[in-house]
Amino acid sequence: MSRPDLPDDTELIDRIRTLDLESKVRLLTGATMWRLPAELRLGLSAVTMSDGPQGVRGTGEDPGATGLLAPAPSALAATWDTDLAERLGALFATEARRKDVDVVLGPVVNLQRTPVAGRHFEYFSEDPLLTGTLAAALVRGLQNRGVGACLKHFVANDSETDRTRYRSRLDERTLREVYLAPFEQVLAEAAPWSVMAAYSGVDDGTESAPMTENARLLRGVLKEEWGFSGPVVSDWAAARSTVASAVGGLDLVMPGPDPLWGAPLVEAVRAGAVDEQLIDDKVVRLLRLARHTGRLGEPGQKSAPPAAPAGPGEDEFRLIRQVAARGMVLLRNEADLLPLTHNGVRSVALIGPNAVAPYLQGGGSAFVPAVRTVSFEDGLRAALPEGVHLSVHRGGDARLRPPYLSAALLTDPDTGTVGVRADHLDADGNRVGGEIRPCGDWSGYTGFDATTHRVVLRTELTLTEPGTHRLEIGCVGRYAVTVDGEEVLSGDDDRGVELILDSSHSNPPLRGIDLEVGPQPRRITLVVDLTVVEPGGYDRFVTAQLRHAPPGPTAYEEIAEAAAAAQAADVAVVVVGTNEEVESEGWDRTALDLPAHQNELVRKVLAANPRTIVVVNAGAPVLLPWADETPALLWAWLPGQEAGHALADVLLGRTEPSGRLPWTLPARAEDVPVPDALPRDGIVHYSEGVHIGHRAWDKGGLAPAYPFGHGLGWTRWTYQSVAVSQSSVSTILPDPAGGDGLKLTVALTNTGPRAGREVVQVYLEPPQDGIDRPVRLLAGLATVQAAAGTRATAELHVPARAFQVWDTDTGGWRTPPGRYRLRVGRSSRDLRLLAEVTVHNGEFHAAA
């Protein structure tokens, strides 16, 4: 309910008394795909939202618009650096204002419960504390500059398979201690101005409901217990009811206008099914958001739009480059192969499918058309000294889908110019518009007016290279494909918004045709007849992907050529990883293996050149069966637009890769504690309880390839002492962001040859003589830097919440008494210092 006791809210409540019920309800669903309604009587201008976990997409009103493309959230989390996260949040705020965006739909604080989760790259970490700490910093950076954050996806929405239908079944203690924890922390530390309710639902034994209708969690926990005062926004097209969602705690339905919350909601209020005070509360929450973002002026007046900054410019490119470089994790560095020195290096072989086509960002709603991109090749060419020869070799294709048809092969049959012609036809078959595009990618095409019923694509395809050509076509909805007048493919899927929600529009199934070409060129006529898809609040669209695999060398031939190049070079740099077919919103992975023949490529290059550096270009874990054979192994994430510069900075020693793993890298698929994300009978069972990520590896006594928190850098550190500050001994309180808890002071020395940055980590080992608890859990973190041979001091706060468990009997937090061990070190498995405290009668006491 609204809070009239707050002075600033009294005035807002007075404003909405001027509106009738219909006007108030109109404000509670989008006016368009991304904008909320304006209301001059309230002084309310339209609030604009945009996707944004890896940048700010904008609203799509300018089809040619580009933007800053930052590293993926998992790369930012690998820095373990709150200052850097806050600076990146400020950059996102500046970018949002350039695009007239008031609220960025992020950060995502769901957890990396399983390494196969499709949006793993978009989440920060497998750990609740690391996730909450970095996300809170990002939110502060955004909102300190007047751009709202929308924390998502509330809650336990950690996989993509059947994401709009499944229920996450987990006990109340697990929900509180693990999955609600990062939301609670960000709310306490950064007060985000909006929260997004997930597509999925939660079944915690008390209530089972979609999150858009979950009154216990939305109203009871989020709003009443935690005091969240902003609006709860539905994920796009997630709301499926009128009364249940309205009384359940949802405040804004997106996109809009939504028929469920228009006239039916007004009718429900008049029928007494929804209290009008609830409607007033929702409008007040919307007005709070508008006020924060500068979209609420005086009644009867429009607010002045915030000034749009100039740019983007080099300062912002440098920050993105810094985040990408510092987030890289040096997993292995035998004989100090890295950083490379120029002495003796006269040739470098850059090898691998991701060396040729880097994977810069994950697929789905996080996608940002970048203002520029720097490839790994471009970055190295710019950085290597004159006289050092760089050769580039793909070593086989890692994609299962062929590339799009090249413009060079396409001819508009009407004009003879390059391209594919799109004819827009009305329901009677009359042409009402059209355009020509020089490409085979017609994914999510919306370039037509409301009278268009069908879009017919026509082109003449000229194939000249002798051999077997593979033509693969992917469409959604109702369609027919003809080649030289003969129908070869068709579909009759009449779904609407479901094609958006399951990502079919961007990842349609492909069906192939083999075309033989002899000594003479072959010319074929290709026609794709598409019926327009009606997806509810989304733009009407059609989708067609026209892909082509020409004859060419096999993967094995390309691998042999790459190995020969590696043998001839002084140093080989092999870049392997994933791509948009593997890591994307809309589907989960089915395995952890690198796609295609990349493992064989690495092994052949390692055999050919002992000075080989392997770079992994992936956001989520992949199995690296050759890791122990690799002289140098670097994890480069999905690094964003400055990828090439950042990699060159690290390889040549200009920037230390001071990243630490924010998740556990498995050595074997069979060891993974949660191996899949599949619902069973509509339920995702969180049977592992509180033992998520590294906690589960510790509980099972399993050996990963590299543990949570691992990373090397350019130097070595000696941990000397840890002290529990006497001033930190206090009564335990349940505030996750409060000052209560323990303060640890850690002394360490940089004993290596270079200046460096260290991530100091503290893990709490609770008593194991009562309730089931993790063997150890991350309880604090800090970054320090020091010159070679100098000492540094790290101060870490261990919040009281780290000691607590959720008591389901009392419905509150409690701290079990006993002796607790605080282990300080470089990772969850490299623990070098120990301090002990006891808890008695709710107080800390330093152990003797």
Mean pLDDT, residues 449-473: 95
Distance CA 72, CA 106 (A): 12
Which residue stretches of 41-81 are H helix?
Answer: 73-79
Alpha-carbon Rg for the chain, nearest whole angstrom, is 28
> Of 292, 323, 346, which one is at a domain's C-terminal end?
292
Helix (H, G, I), strand (E, B) or coil at 272: coil
What distances in angstroms separate CA 73 from CA 125, 619, 711, 739, one per listed residue?
Answer: 9, 9, 18, 27
pLDDT above 80 (res 736): no
Q: Which DSSP symbol is given to 432? A: E
> Of 482, 507, 540, which one is at a domain's C-terminal end?
540
Please tell me the predicted confidence (pLDDT) of residue 496.
85
Mean pLDDT, residues 820-843: 94
Distance CA 80, CA 73 (A): 11
Mean pLDDT, residues 345-357: 97
pLDDT above 90 (res 539): no
Q: Which of 153-157, 188-192, 493-497 has the lowest mean pLDDT?
A: 493-497
> Of 540, 561, 595, which one is at a domain's C-terminal end?
540
Please tell me the predicted confidence (pLDDT) of residue 7.
43
The closest alpha carbon to 708, from 627, 828, 830, belongs to 828
* Residue owning tokens 């201008």: 45
Distance CA 413, CA 423 (A): 12
Report which of residues 8 and 399 the model is more confident about.
Answer: 399
Please tell me the predicted confidence (pLDDT) of residue 593.
97
Task: Using the Cα atoms of residue 126, residue 128, residue 131 and residue 135 in order, give the sign of their dihedral.
Answer: positive
Q: Which of 35-49, 356-370, 607-621 has the lowest mean pLDDT?
A: 356-370
Phi, psi of 246 (to 5 degrees): -65, -45
What distances in angstroms separate CA 847 from CA 116, 678, 762, 812, one per listed residue?
Answer: 42, 46, 17, 27
Structure tokens at 484: 């030289």
Mean pLDDT, residues 567-580: 97
Please tell me the predicted confidence (pLDDT) of residue 729.
38
pLDDT above 60 (res 514): yes
Report which of residues 275 and 164 the model is more confident about.
Answer: 275
Please tell me the predicted confidence (pLDDT) of residue 574.
98
Please tell me the predicted confidence (pLDDT) of residue 726.
45
Residue 234 is assigned to a structural domain of this protein: yes
Task: Give the pairing type, strands 843-846 and 791-799.
Answer: unpaired
What domain range is 265 assigned to?
A: 1-30+210-292
Residue type, 166: Y
* Residue owning tokens 């008695």: 840
Report which of residues 755 and 365 the model is more confident about.
Answer: 755
pLDDT above 80 (res 84): yes
Choice among 102, 235, 397, 649 that is catalytic: 235
Please tell me the predicted confidence (pLDDT) of residue 364.
85
- Angle between helix 314-327 and 82-98 (nearest 10): 140
Reported as a pLDDT band with limits 50, 70 and 90, residue 62 is confident
Interior angle at CA 724, CA 720 and CA 727, nearest 5:
140
Residue 607 is assigned to a structural domain of this protein: no
Helix (H, G, I), strand (E, B) or coil at 316: helix
Terminal Cα-to-Cα distance of the chain (whole angstroms): 50
pLDDT digits 0-9 by tens, 690-710: 999 999 999 999 999 999 999
Residues 754, 788 contacting (CB under 8 angstroms)? yes
pLDDT digits 0-9 by tens, 542-559: 999 999 999 989 999 999
Phi, psi of 777 (to 5 degrees): -140, 150
Phi, psi of 295 (to 5 degrees): -105, 15
pLDDT above 70 (res 299): yes
Please tell me the predicted confidence (pLDDT) of residue 731.
38
Please tell me the predicted confidence (pLDDT) of residue 737.
43
What distances in angstroms separate CA 659 from CA 140, 479, 643, 656, 848, one per listed residue?
Answer: 22, 48, 15, 9, 35
Residue 275 is assigned to a structural domain of this protein: yes
Helix (H, G, I), strand (E, B) or coil at 647: helix
Distance CA 785, CA 702 (A): 32
pLDDT above 90 (res 333): yes
Mean pLDDT, residues 513-519: 93
Mean pLDDT, residues 7-20: 87
Mean pLDDT, residues 673-683: 92
Residues 79, 658 contacting (CB under 8 angstroms)? yes
What is the CATH classification number for the domain harbouring 809?
A: 2.60.40.10
Please tell me the predicted confidence (pLDDT) of residue 848.
59
**In DSSP terms, which residues pair with 410 in a beta bridge?**
461
Residue 272 is assigned to a structural domain of this protein: yes
The total number of residues written for the chain in this structure = 848
Residue 665 is assigned to a structural domain of this protein: no
pLDDT above 50 (res 391): yes
Residues 282, 13 contacting (CB under 8 angstroms)? no
Structure tokens at 619: 């956001």
Question: 617-653 burial, b if ≥16 CB within 10 A, otherwise e?
Answer: bbbbbbbbeebebbbbbbbbbbbbbbbbbbbbbbbbe
Using omega within 30 degrees of 0 as the cis cutoff, is the peptide bond preceding 548 cis? Answer: no
pLDDT digits 0-9 by tens, 805-816: 999 999 999 999
What is the CATH classification number for the domain harbouring 536?
A: 2.60.120.380
Mean pLDDT, residues 590-601: 96
Mean pLDDT, residues 449-472: 95
pLDDT digits 0-9 by tens, 642-653: 999 999 999 999
Distance CA 520, CA 512 (A): 23
Please tell me the predicted confidence (pLDDT) of residue 216.
95
Mean pLDDT, residues 115-131: 97
Q: State the DSSP string of 214-225.
A: -HIIIIIIIIII
Cβ-based neighbours of 161, under 8 Å, separated by 6 or more: 118, 587, 588, 677, 678, 679
Percent of the chain having pLDDT more than 70? 97
Instruction: Please count the structural domains in the chain.
Output: 3
Q: State the DSSP string of 528-582.
A: EEEEPB--TTSPPBEEEEEEEE-S---HHHHHHHHHHHHHHSSEEEEEEE--TTT
pLDDT above 90 (res 343): no
Please tell me the predicted confidence (pLDDT) of residue 738.
44
Q: Which DSSP symbol is given to 168? A: E
* Residue owning tokens 């893990």: 763
Q: What is the mean pLDDT of the chain?
A: 93
Residue 481 is assigned to a structural domain of this protein: yes
**In DSSP terms, which residues pair with 173 in a beta bridge?**
none
CB atoms within 10 A of CB 406: 12
Residue 101 is assigned to a structural domain of this protein: no
Mean pLDDT, residues 90-97: 97
Residue 611 is assigned to a structural domain of this protein: no
pLDDT above 60 (res 141): yes
Q: Which DSSP symbol is given to 457? A: E
Using omega within 30 degrees of 0 as the cis cutoff, is the peptide bond preceding 707 cis? Answer: no
The answer to whether residue 51 is catalytic is no
Mean pLDDT, residues 632-637: 98
What order of strands is seen across the sheet that includes strand 329-333?
Answer: 329-333, 632-635, 612-617, 571-577, 347-351, 389-393
Query: What is the dihedral angle through the alpha carbons of 318, 321, 322, 324, rounded to the nearest 10 degrees?
Result: 160
